[in-house]
Amino acid sequence: MSEPVQSSDPDDVFRLDGEVAVITGGGSGLGLGIARCMSQAGAKVILVGRREAALREACASIGKAAIAEPLDIRQFDHVDAMVARVSERVGPISILVNNAGNYLKRTAVETDAGAFGEVLQTHVLAAHNLTRAVLPGMVSRKHGSILFMASMASLMGVPNIIAYSAAKSALVGMVRSLSTEVSPHGVRVNAIAPGWIESAMLRQALESDPPRKAKILSRTSMGRFGAPEDIGWAAVYLCSAAAKFVTGIVLPVDGGASSGF
């Protein structure tokens, strides 16, 4: 693997040449948007997810810089083998994007312990397990970037998604703790808190709830939903040399939703 770009030239400082990025949930939605942008910035991207056909299709749309790694990240004991396989095939993993997640819309009373636990398992436990697997290599090379996908639900109260809100809020705590722990070793840890971004998940959430859609747009000062590449380019920035002094932050990319009224 070539050395990551360290130039201060504005044409280079946002590049990811030489980086190997593992992106969970990379076959669709935000994960695919991030993968496309990172690939355009020069990174090799490894798309991880449960649906092999979707991953293959996503890789074909990106090109030779993309590789599919079918894996259910909740199978904790399979993750080390995936990391070893990617490292041998492509090179040491220098970027991890913990993007995979699931969504549960239920009132607090309707959310039993089993359903709550399933959401935490995917968002929190699986993300930690992946992070644990890639960290030793990053620390030994004194180079790495770990990115978590937080949410507007990490920053404000959103009704009827208590498990999802708890999981996304837990990621913010992980970012703060982990960044303090590993930043002295050359590994940066950050999060993006996406606003409401056009995706299949968003359409599913809003198609039967027009008042909620109207409320979201009314409090988003830019008056529209975002696009996956809005998150993708923010991810490129946070994982690039342009952000080499940035760690432990949660970056809202939300069209003004978290600061509007």
H helical segments located in the chain: 29-40, 52-62, 79-89, 113-120, 126-141, 162-182, 200-206, 210-219, 228-239
Query: Which candidate, 138, 131, 141, 146, places its Cα nearest to that of 239?
Result: 146
Separation CA 261–CA 158 (nearest Å): 15
Question: Which residues partner with 252 through β-bridges?
Answer: 193
CB distance 40 to 17 below 8 Å: no
Please state the φ and ψ torsions of residue 18, each to the nearest 5 degrees. 85, -5
Please state the φ and ψ torsions of residue 203, each to the nearest 5 degrees. -60, -40
CB distance 225 to 202 below 8 Å: yes
CB neighbour list of residue 136: distance below 8 Å, 6 or more residues apart: none
Catalytic entry in 14, 164, 196, 237: 164
Separation CA 104–CA 260 (nearest Å): 26
164 is catalytic: yes
The tokens for 67 are 């590789």
Which residues are part of the catalytic machinery?
Answer: 164
